[in-house]
Structure 1
Amino acid sequence: MSQSVPPILSIHPSRALMDETFKVLVENLPPGSPVTIRSLHHSEDHDHWEAYGYYISDHTGKVSVSDDFSFGGTYTGKEPMGLLWSMRPVPGSRKGLRLRKTDVCSPMLINISVYSGHGGFREQAPLASALSERWYMAPGVRRVEIRERGVRGTLFIPPGPGPFPGLLDMWGGGGGLLEYRAALLASHGYVSLALQYFAPGELESAELEFHYFETAFNIIRDHPQVMPDRVGIFGLSLGSAVTMYLVTESAVIKPRCCVCVSSNICYPQGKTLAGYHEVMEQNFDKVRVDENNHQIWRDMALAIMNGLSKTVDVGKINCPVLLVNGSDDQNWPVMESAEVMAQMMRDAGKEHLLTRLMYPDAGHLIEPPFSPHFRATNFIVSSTKEKVILLWGGQTKPHSDAQEDSWRKILSFLQQHLCCSPSPKAKL
């Protein structure tokens, strides 16, 4: 492709929050030229992730990713954000990778380039490139490490004097401290505590008493910049089981509302997470593997759920609850769990408190929008400390659509139940 004026690639906005859309535009191409537009990210784990689409420039020599169709690549069709949600490890990468931001104080840097032709772009020099900064923390959001009353986590506080609504943010059975969702929630005006409740692969540190979660909730509620009567809980997977247990069994905390992603209403009798792992060990013989030797935990989870003594009595719930589930979840029987929960709440006259979102062909790991889809990733089993690859499920395009749609509805739900009045979304 030779011409006197070189192509120009631009990204608008070049700096944005992770849940904001951008526009990628290539200009000064010869009309009718086949080109490949590629995104490339070097992760904090030193792996390379990419996405790309095949385009043909219009009669003016332009390609707009927001408006034009991709004819192939990691995504097809008119997909404005396909360069993000269809990212995958580059060929030859390690197996079972998952892309997650650990340093939320720095942006995720995405290099977007345009190449001549369709295919073979990895051996070419780009015709033009531009850099996109994707942030979880909006300007002015404060990050505060919490080591208080035995609780471990990170508190994110929106800019301004407040007071703000609050959220306790809990991830799942992989353990560790994950901050990026809480940082993004703070960017939307919520004081959010990303809670660490055990370390990955360490069953001993999972022997946490029920009191630990009550204390974490109270740390948010008692913060001087938080409205004490407007604190909710946001849980995913195991975090949703803890959420359900807190909402039904605690006499101390009364959340204003709850969001449960990939919901789980099973929680063993007793008041420690160690019991949860014991129940899993007792049913581990029901774990299956697929043709790729990826572990499928769904049948094990079904066996656990069918033990009624280990099911939370959700009929005692007295606050609005939003369930977000994918029908292709291969890790947990979330659809069956949601049906059981709906019936129990119906029997208790509480069905009006339950809102259900179900997404066909979405998997277990429903994250903030434009996050890549991970059908199977590495996982450390707490009881044995064995490293396996878990099958989470989901198909890339419908799963990504579910992430985008559910995030909008989650924010709307939180605004409805936690906010006194509409607050503008933070901008970079």
Structure 2
Amino acid sequence: MVRLTVTPKVSLADEPLKIQVSGLPPSQLVTLQASLTDEKGVFFYSRALYWSDKAGEVDLERAAATGGDYAGVQPMGLFHVLKPEKPFYRLMKRDVMQSPFQIRLDLFDSNHLFSSPHDQPVASQTVDRWYVAPGVQRVQIRGNRVRGALFLPPGDGPFPGVIDLFGGIGGLIEFRASLLASRGFVALALAYFAYEDLPSCLDEVDLEYFEEAANILLGHPKVGGAGVGVVAICKGAEIALAMATFLPQITATVCINGTNAMHGTALRYRHLYVSPIPYRFECVQITALGLLSLYSVIGDTQAEANQGSLIPVEKALGQILFVVGESDQNYNSKAFAEEAMERMGQHGRKNCTLLSYPGAGHLIEPPGSPFCSCSWNPFFSLPLMWGGEAHAHAAAQEHSWREIQKFLWHHLCHTGSSKL
């Protein structure tokens, strides 16, 4: 009897699964397919071909895929390369509390890549991939101005506090904060434009807004320590670097594929004003596939006229971790991180570290997020390029997620224990 076994059947989205097939004839060609429908009704799927071994088994921890959406030994490959049936859609969990992503795995006893979608599998399993662990609470935050969602681990704490920021997509995105809370952090998913009564577009970065968020987090009874951390990507990472520089409450900052200067939007903090490097939209490029490349839109941070827009990172008192994908097609992220670190070194500062990943693109997220090389953005009429190569990008997500958590625990937490 052919059996498809997937363990565990219920897990957090950032956890690996063990996928095994047994009961096949030796040297049987099979197709494994993963699929799910997201909260917007978009269907995502992936497929890979495998040969059974002499015992009639396929173990994805040892067996190499021969074709399909990937090749080689990739135990979680089916999850890493889930792609949308509608082109350019990005898989992103919106409601993290009420439901998991339910992913169905199907086994077909032939090459199913060219078969009818109505063919019946010989075995199937469904797994639940949650973005929140049991006992984690979500609290809606509506401070004086601050809008967001606070995720609280079970227990009295104290726990390290972390602010979670995303980039130019706007709105409130919670899946990384909920996973951080599931790993023992009090995590504030912070919106800063295009949400509720916040500005619909980001015309200016008012650092006092982010300072208020930090103070809300520090004032929570479950948060311990004298400072909080920030984890941020893209435009959020640019803001996070400014937070690390000017806000003494920030003691550990993770900048994922960001820049080292204010671009497009000015920075204001009390009596401080930093004018931005203008975007060069005359340099925008459209690929043969109709994708929008913003890589050349970002202004030159080394030009003399733009030096006043650089973030003076040497003033940062806390630790900074730069995480970059060397195949990022949105920013020249590695160059920006290296410029920031060089500036810190010139001032005798050593409170920074760089994690650089060859083949990784822009959207370096927790491991539960499939590789996305391009997708729609609500502020552009064409899909944006993010870059990267699937296998290298997936490896970067797995490694960086562990390192980010280690970094935060080391620099924020002097009590309690890591859940790594």
Contact 1:230 1:419 in 2 (8 A): no
Label 1:63 to 1:270 Cα distance change in 2 as closer, same or farther (>3 A): closer
Q: 1:227 aligns with which of 216, 224, 227?
A: 224
TM-score normalised over the length of structure 1: 0.90
The whole-number CA distance in structure 2 between the counterparts of 1:229 and 1:147 is 23
Residue aligned with 1:19, SS: coil
Residues 205-256 of structure 1: CA distance to partner in whole angstroms, max 9, x if unpaired? 6555221110011110100110141411111111111111122223xx4212
TM-score normalised over the length of structure 2: 0.92
In structure 1, give the amino acid aligned to 2:354.
R
Contact 1:315 1:345 in 2 (8 A): yes
Residue aligned with 2:268, SS: coil
Contact 2:205 2:267 in 1 (8 A): no
Contact 1:294 1:389 in 2 (8 A): yes
Bigger Cα displacement from structure 2, 138-147 vs 329-338:
329-338
Give the C-alpha shift of residue 259 in structure 1. Answer: 0.5
Bigger Cα displacement from structure 2, 115-124 vs 400-409:
115-124
In structure 2, give the amino acid aligned to 1:127.
V
Give the C-alpha shift of residue 387 in structure 1. Answer: 2.3
Does residue 196 (structure 1) correspond to residue 188 (structure 2)? The answer is: no
Query: Who is 1:338 aligned against?
Result: 337
Contact 1:283 1:304 in 2 (8 A): no
Moved runs in structure 1, 4+ residues, more than 3 A?
200-208, 275-280, 302-306
Residue aligned with 2:106, SS: strand
Does residue 50 (structure 1) correspond to residue 45 (structure 2)? The answer is: yes
Does residue 355 (structure 1) correspond to residue 353 (structure 2)? The answer is: yes
Query: Who is 1:388 aligned against?
Result: 382
In structure 2, give the amino acid aligned to 1:331.
N
Contact 2:230 2:250 in 1 (8 A): yes
Residues 300-348 of structure 1: CA distance to partner in whole angstroms, max 9, x if unpaired? 1143674211110111112111000011111112122112101110011
Q: 2:236 aligns with which of 231, 239, 255?
A: 239
The whole-number CA distance in structure 2 between the counterparts of 1:270 and 1:86 is 38
The whole-number CA distance in structure 2 between the counterparts of 1:349 and 1:313 is 13
Does residue 167 (structure 1) correspond to residue 162 (structure 2)? The answer is: yes
Residue aligned with 1:388, SS: coil
Q: 2:102 aligns with which of 106, 109, 128?
A: 109
Contact 2:146 2:212 in 1 (8 A): yes
Query: Who is 1:423 aligned against?
Result: 417
Q: 1:255 aligns with which of 239, 242, 250?
A: 250
The whole-number CA distance in structure 1 between the counterparts of 2:327 and 2:351 is 25
Give the C-alpha shift of residue 279 in structure 1. Answer: 5.0
Q: Number of paired residues?
A: 408
Query: Who is 1:96 aligned against?
Result: 88
Q: CA RMSD in A?
A: 2.1
Q: Percent identity?
A: 36
The whole-number CA distance in structure 2 between the counterparts of 1:276 and 1:49 is 43
Residue aligned with 2:140, SS: strand
The whole-number CA distance in structure 2 between the counterparts of 1:82 and 1:320 is 34
Does residue 403 (structure 1) correspond to residue 403 (structure 2)? The answer is: no
The whole-number CA distance in structure 1 between the counterparts of 2:390 and 2:416 is 33
Higher percent of residues as helix: 1
Label 1:69 to 1:204 Cα distance change in 2 as closer, same or farther (>3 A): closer
In structure 1, give the amino acid aligned to 2:30.
V
Residue aligned with 1:369, SS: coil
In structure 2, give the amino acid aligned to 1:108.
F
Residue aligned with 1:178, SS: coil
In structure 1, give the amino acid aligned to 2:235.
L
In structure 2, give the amino acid aligned to 1:237.
C
